[in-house]
Amino acid sequence: MALRWILASCLVASGAAQTIVPESLAGVEGGSASSIPFGLSGPVRYQMLFDADQLPFDGPRLLTELRIRPDWDNGAAIAAKQFLRVDVDISTTARRAENVSGTFDENHGLDRTRVAAFHQLVLPALPAGGPAPHAAVISIPFDTPFWYGMLPFRPGEQVAENLCIDLQIVSQPSGPYRIDSPFTCDSQVTHFGLVDNPCHPSHTGPDVFLEIDSSDDVRAGSNITWSVHNCAPLGPFWIIVAATANGNWLGTPLPAPLFDSAPGCYVNVPLGALILSGTADASGDGEKLITLPSNRQLVGQTFHAQAFMLDLAANAFGYVTSMGVRSTVCGPLGIARVFRLGAATGTTGTVTFGSAPVIELP
């Protein structure tokens, strides 16, 4: 046992300098803000859960303080807020963020520890301006340090490597105070495939083609939206969506010519996959979307799409095509929050998957 603690101490001493959680938001504004839990009045119970892959360190690691990052809010000044009273519990847990429970205690592991008791918390004032993001200046030092990654592993059991932090705000005065929170993400969106003259809409000139774009914030549990441009005003269009750009058309590997009667038009995604139909507006623009399941396994998956448009005057076949567009599901991050307003010791709360404060664990 003594050797184990010596080893843990050495690992802490030589651990990574990076301490921002989620790790991907070190030096990056979270993209959203929340008035929960500090921009309210009265008691709040606020629990956050971070999957192990969001942490910038491995265990064993000694945690001695929780710091929370205020929202930058376009560089606006932030007024101080004082006289909050907070209890903090921490544990590791085998529960993942995507399966977080609305019952607070079900999210904790066996090593649940009260690390701060009735702590008097001050939310500091911050001047206007300065670089984004703010430093994590809301500080709660621990009365009892917490060892992350020291829970013994037993064969046949899930490894308790995710982190659960539970704030029980016993009291707080009224007044605003917004904290930085990740909610959006940047998807990788690229165009691929072929389209060439004379495959252009009949109402446009050469080199002006049917176009398709994708939303750049594609998250599991939210929408992925495709927009088309340069359609015939009030005309029909179709969007073909596939999981891959591999395949063939009439025996030719993609991208493949559509037909000889539609010169310059290509098939860039496998036909026969998901087909979305729509009608362009008077400006020749249109939009279609699908809602993705709230499943973390979708993160990293790529969708491929291509637009087709009916245009009898464009060529003998009567259709023109666009290039393809691919977009990758970038989130949500493996984080979650559960909160209960008006009760610091409430047993159940509201769940938000993919949202939690940006914190620092030095």
- Walk me through the domains of the chain, giving residue ranges and CATH numbers: 17-183+333-360 (no CATH), 189-328 (2.60.40.10)
In this structure, is the dihedral angle defined by the CA atoms of residues 11, 17, 20 and 21, taken in order, positive or negative? negative
Per-residue pLDDT at 152: 67
Quote the pLDDT of residue 295: 75
Over the chain (362 residues), what is each successive 10-residue block's mean pLDDT? 39 55 89 92 97 92 96 92 96 93 96 97 94 94 94 67 97 95 81 97 94 90 93 97 95 97 98 92 96 81 96 97 94 90 96 92 93
In the prediction, which pLDDT does 91 show?
Answer: 96
Question: Chain-centre distance of CA 126, in angstroms?
Answer: 27
For residue 10, the model assigns a pLDDT of 40
**DSSP helix, strand, coil percent of the chain (3-state; round to 5):** 10, 40, 50
Q: What is the distance between the alpha carbons of residues 298 and 135, in angstroms, rounded to a whole number?
A: 32
Q: Which residues contact 59 (CB under 8 A, 6 or more apart)?
A: 147, 148, 149, 150, 161
Count of alpha carbons within 13 angstroms of residue 266, beta-carbon side: 21
> Looking at residue 154, what is its pLDDT?
61
- Output the six-digit token pair for 140: 């709660």
pLDDT of amino acid 299: 81
Of 68, 36, 18, 334, give the one whose Cα is nearest residue 185. 334
